[in-house]
Amino acid sequence: MKKNKGLFILIAVLAVLLAVYFGLQSWNKSKEKEKEKQEEAAVVHVTDTAAEDIVSMKFDVGNGEMIFDKENGKWSYTPDPDFPLAQSYPEAMADAVGNITADRELSDGDAMEDYGLDEPVYTVEYTDAHDNVTDIYFGNMTGDCYYVTVGDEGRVYTVASTALDSLSYTLDDIAQLDAYPSIGSGNLVKEVITRNGQTTTYDSENEDQEEDIAAVAGGLGAVTLSEAADYSVEDEELAGFGLDETARITVEATYTEDGEEKVLTLYIGDEDGDGNRYVMMNDSRIVYLISDEICSNILNESE
């Protein structure tokens, strides 16, 4: 009986300890939620629009005017709808402009011109799905913050300069460039060059062309698509780059990827005068700049 009594006491103590433990857990969670609510209540919202509700944006924060529109869930660069826009950028921009918070709101402030808000340094405008237009004006700086106001509401806030970070991009930054395959002497099957109606073929199965295959594979493998001369070239503009059908050099490279044969088509045009040549690939409308040296290797012009 004494043993059973001792066991019952241990079980009772354990039950009490568990009750205390779970009680503390629940108390801690309630305190954390209360703290989060207090922190949220303390946040001063300059703008408060969900990113998915924003359908257009216009601003110039030092890198030139940017205008974007969203239709059927997809963003486009308004001045050039064919521009290859990487969607992650306007999505981040919409999130940034719709959720601007302030360090503080000024009370009994001075006139707008005292904050540089009569002639703003930057203006950010966005429109939501209900055609509501919001204008955010950035004036003078105070420390690491801008004086900011929205529309004609007359309220002045101080907003961290980092609020503009997600908008400070150039077109080169936000372009979605083409994916270029990995090609080398180990997976290059064949390269066919067509120039002025004449065709030259380098075949990996031709033992007499081992050095040629190594040379052209080295050129193909050195290509990086990082600089563009035109992001959405029109057919009538191709001649200006030497990329019209009568002038360009066509390179068809057959290579293997995951055991499957694929074909990369490159069109090589004129030199740009700065050590590069204009190049297009497959059916892309982007004109890239590739160094003369790499293009010469692709064409095996050092043979």
Helices and strands: H and E segment counts in the chain:
5, 17
pLDDT tens per residue across span 22-61: 666 765 665 455 544 444 445 899 999 999 999 999 999 9
pTM to 2 decimal places: 0.77
> Which tokens is 249 given?
């050099």
Tell me the mean pLDDT per 10 residues along the chain, length 303: 58 68 64 47 85 97 95 97 97 97 86 93 97 97 96 92 95 96 96 96 96 96 96 97 97 96 98 97 97 97 70
Q: In this predicted structure, what is the pLDDT of residue 36?
A: 45
Q: Answer whether 225's CB lies under 8 Å from 238's CB.
A: no
Helix (H) or strand (E) holding 298: helix 292-298
Q: In this predicted structure, what is the pLDDT of residue 7?
A: 59
Helix (H) or strand (E) holding 67: strand 66-71
pLDDT tens per residue across span 101-121: 999 999 876 789 999 999 999
> Which tokens is 36 given?
């989060």
